[in-house]
Amino acid sequence: MLAFQSRVLHFTFETALLKTSSPFRHVLSLGVCLQIIQQITGINIVLFYAPRIFQFAGFSSTSEQLWGTIFIGIANMFSTLIALFFIDKLGRKPIMTLGFTIMGIALATVGFLLKMDLLHNPVLANIAAGALLLFVFGFGMSAGPVVWLLCSEIFPLAGKDFGVTFSTAANWISNAIVSGSFLTLLHYLGSANTFLLYAGFQAFSWLFFVFFVPETKGVSLEKIESNLFSGLPLRKIGS
């Protein structure tokens, strides 16, 4: 009972912080945007569409498509390990901008091949399948783990529970919207233009990270919080 009352009081305090502190509202908006960006990379639509691409590439049997899915999982796992190794050496923003570049090139490649109707060529079809693996690799080394890390760092201690909870809810809501709109996009835009649209999202996300997201490498949580409440712009709270 006491634990429940404590949680209620803590939630009430964080809600009050949301109402009274504009820096907290700003950083909460940043956390929400980060989670939305993670979903508009198109990771889910790529996973949904992967079996069809593998089928175009000549992997017609169920077992071959299953192996293709396994390779996607392997690419995701190893790229995440790369992120864990380099994230404190290179920084969050360089890894993210590199990841968006890789993902953008990969999706543009798939979109171009679909638009030119070139997947009947076995070599080009295999290039499209490889581009999907490259996309997953780019996501696993950047937006997959780094967004969650940034959301754990940018929120002040007093509002961390509320900030992480709210931004995570934004992640799931945007996930549902992206997943639910995929078939509609395919119907109205076609598969090629849908992939090119999501390639464009990578460019938008690249710009967002360059101009609005702070670099938090090597900066303590206390310093980030102090910078936030001192009124620094969000992109400089990791200074």
Q: Give the chain's domains with CATH numbers.
A: 33-212 (1.20.1250.20)
Start-to-end C-alpha separation, the chain: 42
**What 3-state DSSP class applies to 181?**
helix
Contact 184, 197 (CB under 8 A): no
Distance, CA of 50 to CA of 75 (rounded, Å): 13
Measured in whole angstroms, the distance separating CA 201 from the mean position of its chain's CA atoms is 11
Provide the residue type at 206 as one letter.
W
Tokens matching residue 186: 């395919």
pLDDT tier at 2, thresholds 50, 70, 90: very low
Q: Which residue has better confidence, 12 or 98? A: 98
Q: How far apart (Å, rounded) are the C-alpha atoms in residues 64 and 58?
A: 9
* Mean of pLDDT values over 132-140: 94
**Average pLDDT value for the chain:** 87
When pLDDT is cut at 50, 70 and 90, the band that residue 5 belongs to is: very low
Amino acid at 130: G
Q: Which of 23-27, 71-75, 106-110, 114-118 has the weakest average pLDDT?
A: 114-118
| Dist CA 202 CA 96 (whole Å) | 10
Most confident residue range from 70-79, 118-127, 185-194, 204-213: 204-213
In sequence order, the 6+-apart residues with CB closer than 8 A to the CB of 79 are 136, 137, 138, 139, 140, 141, 144
